[in-house]
């Protein structure tokens, strides 16, 4: 930095702090020449494992890694091994065999994992950065757009040509090329302008040649949730690079995560920037004609839309849409009856607005002998806090000695976890997580696996392939598709733009047939295959299930019950008495309902419902926000309560 070179600091914590604090001035100086980079959210503390994790970024963004001093074990060696796996150049300065902080360097050189350096000139020469090397490089530049490709390069190019842009994990699975090798190949292809050409051809196909600028340098940003952070990032990139052309891809009609800070207005602001052009993509290859036409009619009622051109179905099927307008307050029963009547060989999904509605429908489908799978929002629930996942991570953490997880250790961790939790109903989530990671990571790095786990949610690993019917909240169904969709739309919500968008997302999940059961007026006067008004009154189902979250239990109750709670597994039955849950075998209390849940349960009891049975749903780790950094975690039990009339 003092020599006029850009310096980038990779942080092991959020951008709201500098650790150690004495380096704050240096960090500020970096902002003028270089910058600060982090993958961690604001508020993240500089925990020990974060430093190892961030080393992936250090190794990946650098042309070369130089180890100057290192003991036999240390973070520098981890970074060096990562650099080698990424096919980056690695160098080390040797030292005397007796020097403690030369042992790591000497070891790297001995094992041919790093080249020996004796001076800065050696490094410049080795990298080909000398003046003579630069001249030679310039003389031998490949001018052909399509150079001769290796077999693996040709496979990648062929797949990209056929299927357009793909995520790197998908590309790894399709080609069976390890991810570290894929990165290196894509880098070479990018230098040969193959990737750029593929992107250009895809854009010509999707938006038309007339909509492309004459001079292009495209950066595709899929800001699906349109958060203020994404908007600020795009604006900063545009302001700092006049030559940049930004393509923001999104659908404002499907922006339904306002509770997370999403706002489609940011995309609208981008569309108003000088020189911007709004291109509508109107071809729908998912849904048949009638569901698409119905959705087009409905969405016209949403105010302040960016799009004006109706969507066109490119399918041959006509499809079907039916709406039943009920006078009854409760409409669970008629929806299930219609599903039983029309259910065919294709995929079926029931969509609700709340978790409570979804759980009630699962219980009702079970009563009729229909195999269903629930996909729902997990309020305050983090996947990596699940007891089964914690066991797997802890097993690896205690035994792994290098950044790379040996295959034998990986198998041992699977066997130990699957055996310890063989009777746990939640084990299916862990198995699915492990399976998906294995599919995209032939070479398994512990830091990559932890990142994969920490960024995932429970519903990401909900395998619905074997279910006759999927039951889901609309929010959790986004991105999925089904042949038949049954929507339960009660009239308990004030109608606004957010609600209309939510309904729109739900109805656009249907590929062939859409069935809507409602006691509201949102779908009046729309063109449908069948519009039926039902005056029949329905009661609530005889059985319902209450699924408890963190807010439904008294968290302080668990402080002295860690071993008792951890001894239980998902699916284990519990005894219930006076708002307290007990272990059936030991008769000891293992959970107490929160004050708000006690009130809720009392209201159900006033309607005639009593707790028929209880069972363990999840066991999770939890720690209060104000707890000391090194303070112990609490094991929390989240249960299912089956209520019956």
Mean pLDDT of 198-202: 52
Instruction: Return the pLDDT at 418.
Output: 94
Residue 286, Cβ density class (10 Å: 0-12 exposed, 13-18 middle, ≥19 buried): middle
Residue 93 scores a pLDDT above 50: yes
Q: Which residue has the tokens 């986004």?
A: 478
> pLDDT band for position 422 (50/70/90)?
very high
Between CA 358 and CA 360 the distance in angstroms is: 5
- 195 Cβ contact partners less than 8 Å away, ≥ 6 residues apart: 160, 186, 189
Whole-model pTM: value is: 0.58
Instruction: Return the pLDDT at 149.
Output: 63
Between CA 582 and CA 573 the distance in angstroms is: 9
DSSP state of 99: -
Question: 613-626, pLDDT tens digit by residue?
Answer: 999 999 998 887 76
For the ranges 52-61, 146-155, 173-182, 329-338, the lowest mean pLDDT is seen at 146-155
Long-range contacts for 465-468 (Cβ within 8 Å, ≥24 apart)? 466/371, 466/373, 467/371, 467/372, 467/373, 468/343, 468/348, 468/370, 468/371, 468/372
Question: Which residue did the predictor score with more confidence, 465 or 556?
Answer: 556
Long-range contacts for 498-502 (Cβ within 8 Å, ≥24 apart)? 498/256, 498/258, 500/298, 500/299, 500/301, 500/302, 501/253, 501/254, 501/255, 501/256, 501/302, 502/256, 502/353, 502/474, 502/475
Instruction: Return the pLDDT at 209.
Output: 57
CB 99 within 8 A of CB 109: no
Question: 214-272, pLDDT tens digit by residue?
Answer: 554 444 444 344 556 666 766 776 776 666 667 777 777 777 666 666 677 777 777 77
Instruction: Return the pLDDT at 75.
Output: 80
CB 503 within 8 A of CB 495: no
Between CA 266 and CA 234 the distance in angstroms is: 10
Between CA 116 and CA 411 the distance in angstroms is: 36
CA distances from 554 to 484, 576, 585, 597, 638 (A): 40, 15, 22, 9, 11
Mean pLDDT of 540-559: 88
Q: Which two tokens stand for residue 7?
A: 């310096």
Residue 342 scores a pLDDT above 50: yes
Question: 114-130, pLDDT tens digit by residue?
Answer: 888 888 888 887 776 66
CB 182 within 8 A of CB 157: no
CB 287 within 8 A of CB 315: yes
The 3-state DSSP class for residue 618 equals strand
Instruction: Return the pLDDT at 308.
Output: 81
Question: 278-331, pLDDT tens digit by residue?
Answer: 788 888 888 999 999 999 999 888 877 778 888 899 999 999 999 999 999 999
Question: Which residue did the predictor score with more confidence, 359 or 190?
Answer: 359
Between CA 299 and CA 310 the distance in angstroms is: 9
Per the prediction, the chain carries an average pLDDT of: 81
Question: 468-519, pLDDT tens digit by residue?
Answer: 899 988 888 877 889 999 999 987 666 777 888 889 989 999 999 999 999 9
Beta bridge mates, 589 = 582
Q: Dihedral sign, CA of 204, 208, 212, 218? A: negative
Between CA 232 and CA 238 the distance in angstroms is: 10
Question: 16-55, pLDDT tens digit by residue?
Answer: 778 877 777 788 788 777 888 888 887 788 887 788 788 8
Between CA 402 and CA 549 the distance in angstroms is: 37
CB 636 within 8 A of CB 583: no
For the ranges 132-146, 520-534, 557-571, the lowest mean pLDDT is seen at 132-146
Q: Which two tokens stand for residue 171?
A: 């590309």
> pLDDT band for position 164 (50/70/90)?
low
Question: Which among 424, 482, 453, 385 is positioned nearest to 616, based on CA atoms?
Answer: 424
Question: 51-71, pLDDT tens digit by residue?
Answer: 878 888 888 888 889 998 888
Instruction: Return the pLDDT at 588.
Output: 93
Residue 610 scores a pLDDT above 50: yes
> pLDDT band for position 165 (50/70/90)?
low
């Amino acid at each position: 930095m003092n020599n006029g070179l850009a310096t980038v600091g990779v942080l092991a914590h959020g951008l709201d702090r500098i650790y150690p604090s004495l380096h704050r001035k240096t960090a500020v100086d970096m902002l003028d020449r270089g910058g600060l980079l982090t993958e961690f959210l604001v508020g993240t503390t500089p925990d020990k494992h974060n430093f190892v994790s961030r080393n992936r970024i250090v190794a990946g963004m650098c042309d070369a890694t130089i180890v100057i001093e290192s003991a036999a074990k240390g973070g520098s060696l981890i970074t060096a091994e990562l650099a080698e796996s990424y096919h980056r150049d690695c160098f080390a300065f040797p030292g005397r065999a007796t020097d403690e902080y030369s042992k790591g360097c000497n070891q790297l050189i001995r094992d041919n994992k790093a080249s020996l350096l004796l001076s800065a000139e050696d490094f410049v020469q080795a990298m080909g950065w000398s003046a003579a090397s630069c001249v030679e490089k310039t003389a031998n530049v490949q001018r052909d757009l399509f150079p001769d490709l290796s077999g693996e390069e040709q496979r990648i190019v062929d797949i990209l040509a056929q299927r357009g842009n793909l995520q790197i994990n998908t590309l790894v699975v399709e080609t069976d090329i390890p991810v570290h090798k894929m990165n290196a190949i894509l880098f070479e292809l990018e230098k040969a302008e193959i990737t750029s050409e593929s992107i250009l051809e895809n854009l010509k196909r999707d938006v038309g040649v007339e909509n492309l600028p004459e001079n292009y340098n495209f950066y595709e940003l899929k800001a699906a949730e349109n958060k203020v952070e994404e908007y600020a990032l795009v604006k900063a990139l545009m302001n700092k690079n006049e030559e940049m052309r930004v393509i923001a891809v999104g659908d404002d009609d499907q922006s339904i995560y306002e509770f997370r800070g999403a706002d489609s207005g940011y995309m609208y602001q981008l569309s108003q920037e000088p020189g911007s052009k709004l291109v509508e993509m109107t071809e729908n290859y998912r849904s048949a004609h009638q569901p698409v036409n119905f959705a087009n009619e409905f969405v016209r009622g949403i105010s302040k839309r960016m799009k004006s051109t109706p969507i066109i179905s490119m399918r041959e099927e006509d499809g079907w849409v039916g709406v039943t307008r009920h006078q009854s307050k409760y409409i669970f029963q008629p929806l299930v009856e219609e599903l039983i009547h029309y259910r065919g060989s294709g995929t079926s999904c029931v969509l609700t607005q709340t978790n409570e509605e979804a759980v009630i429908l699962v219980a009702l489908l079970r009563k009729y002998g229909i195999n269903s799978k629930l996909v729902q929002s997990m309020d305050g629930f983090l996947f990596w806090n699940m007891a089964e996942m914690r066991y797997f991570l802890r097993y690896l953490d205690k035994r792994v000695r290098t950044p790379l997880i040996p295959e034998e250790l990986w198998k041992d961790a699977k066997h130990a976890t699957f055996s310890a939790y063989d009777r746990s109903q939640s084990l299916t989530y862990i198995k699915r997580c492990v399976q998906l990671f294995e599919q995209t990571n032939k070479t398994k790095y512990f830091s990559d696996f932890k990142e994969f786990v920490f960024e995932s949610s429970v519903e990401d690993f909900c395998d619905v392939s074997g279910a006759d019917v999927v039951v889901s909240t609309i929010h959790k169904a986004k991105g999925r598709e089904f042949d038949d969709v049954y929507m339960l739309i009660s009239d308990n919500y004030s109608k606004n733009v957010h609600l209309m968008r939510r309904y729109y997302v739900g109805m656009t999940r249907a590929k062939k047939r859409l069935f809507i059961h409602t006691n509201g007026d949102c779908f009046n006067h729309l063109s449908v295959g069948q519009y039926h008004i039902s005056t029949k009154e329905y009661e609530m189902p005889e059985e319902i299930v209450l699924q408890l979250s963190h807010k439904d239990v008294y968290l302080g109750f668990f402080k002295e019950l860690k071993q008792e709670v951890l001894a239980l597994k998902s699916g284990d039955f519990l005894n219930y008495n006076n708002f307290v849950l007990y272990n059936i075998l030991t008769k000891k209390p293992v959970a107490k309902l929160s004050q708000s849940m006690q009130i809720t349960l009392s209201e159900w009891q006033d309607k005639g419902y009593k707790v028929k049975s209880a069972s363990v749903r999840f066991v999770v780790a939890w720690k209060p926000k104000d707890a000391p950094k090194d303070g112990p975690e609490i094991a929390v039990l989240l249960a299912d309560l089956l209520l019956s009339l």
